[in-house]
Copies of this chain bind each other. A is one copy, B any other.
Amino acid sequence: MSHNTFGHLFRVTTFGESHGPALGCVIDGCPPLIPIHEAEIQLELDRRRPGQSRFTTQRQEPDKVRILSGVFTDEKTGKQVTTGTPIALLIENVDQRSKDYSEIKESYRPGHADIAYDMKYGIRDYRGGGRSSARETAARVAAGAIARKVLPDVKIRAALVQIGPHKINRDNWDWAEVGNNALFCPDASSVSFLEDYLDGIRKAGSSIGAVVEVVAEGVPPGLGAPIYGKLDSELASSLMSINAVKGVEIGAGFASAELTGEENADEMYASNAGHPAFSSNHAGGVLGGISTGQPLVCRFAVKPTSSILQLRHSVTREGKETEVRTKGRHDPCVGIRAVPIAEAMVACVLADQFLRHRGQVGEIRHWPFNP
């Protein structure tokens, strides 16, 4: 698909601007009879919600989601389930603070989509970034909550692994810690240092980049549609579509460029898991664009927020040079909030690939094939 829709059988269309009346999405192609409750979607939205710590924008949005269609009460269980028809989710904007936008109305923030939208469309809703605002990602997170239920046995988790030049200590990785700090950091020992570092960035009116890692465990083997709908290809596309992302890698990623064939290729061993055991996971769970049953591992780089208090050289719509300083409520590290968004995108890609596999091929196959 294109534009504002992604996915083929599990298709998500989002709409809405930062300061318009509402944003939301339509999920088309979701299988029927899946139990789904607004509270479950709300849980995911609350993880992404701004204003929860000093490290994210101070905009206060309840992000209260409302299901408008596509669900009905299952007679047998009394639970609300999907019906196979499109599920529309609506989130009203509440805290569109009325402020003076005169500065960014005529001048462009360096590193921001401001000028790009004007170049493309000849008009843009400049209030809060309009359509290019990270607020749009609330709709993705809502869709992701439903996507997770299409593959209930797949566990999709993400974590912040680097802020600026500071990488976490992977030896301390504990998924349980991710929910215990405002940074989604899996290494408890790094948290206070990173918080101090971020406080410095914030107080300087600056911002900083980050790296996020997503891991999906329990992915059935065989998902992925070669040649141009490869699982890794679609993961790259969906993660790169998140605001401010500038790089994506799978498994060993860029490090694989430095490896020899025998260092890189994951050797295989007998196993009764339905797929071989592997000596390592440089592949990140994908070979030839198809899942192997190993954990899916992706990482992506998020550039620093472009809206900063520092004075920057820029231009106006009229072609004049100017200087821009962006006041307002911005994330000092937009990479932090990318953590739940990335989980949602991976969930949507996997749900879609699963349905496409079931459509073309049928059941998941398990190794060994001729036992």
Interface-side segment among A14-22, A43-51, A57-65, A175-183: A14-22
Q: Are A15 and B26 in contact (CB under 8 A)?
A: yes
**A157: interface (CB < 8 Å):** no
Q: How far is the CB of A186 from chain B (nearest CB, A)?
A: 17
Whether A312 contacts B24 in the complex (CB less than 8 A), given A241-B289, A370-B317, comes out as no
Once bound together, how far apart are the Cα atoms of A93 and B263, in whole Å? 33
Q: How far is the CB of A207 from chain B (nearest CB, A)?
A: 4
Once bound together, how far apart are the Cα atoms of A308 and B261, in whole Å? 7
Interface size on A, residues (CB 8 A): 166
Q: How far is the CB of A57 from chain B (nearest CB, A)?
A: 14
- Which of B29, B223, B246, B371 is the one whose CB lies under 8 Å from A252? B246
Whether A28 contacts B8 in the complex (CB less than 8 A), given A257-B301, A355-B359, comes out as no
**A121: interface (CB < 8 Å):** yes
**A56: interface (CB < 8 Å):** no
Once bound together, how far apart are the Cα atoms of A87 and B141, in whole Å? 20
Q: Are A233 and B228 in contact (CB under 8 A)?
A: no
Q: How far is the CB of A147 from chain B (nearest CB, A)?
A: 14
- Which of B32, B241, B319 is the one whose CB lies under 8 Å from A230? B241
**A346: interface (CB < 8 Å):** no
Binary contact readout A59-88 vs B (1 if CB under 8 angstroms, 0 otherwise): 000000010111010100000010111111
Q: Are B314 and A256 in contact (CB under 8 A)?
A: no
User: Which positions 235-275 of chain A face chain B at CB distance < 8 Å?
Assistant: 235-241, 243, 246-270, 275
User: Which positions 22-46 of chain A face chain B at CB distance < 8 Å?
Assistant: 22-24, 26, 28-33
In chain B, what residue has the closest Cβ to A302? Answer: B257
Residues on the B chain within 8 Å of A284, using CB? 246
Q: Are B68 and A371 in contact (CB under 8 A)?
A: no
Q: How far is the CB of A333 from chain B (nearest CB, A)?
A: 10
Q: Are B266 and A2 in contact (CB under 8 A)?
A: no
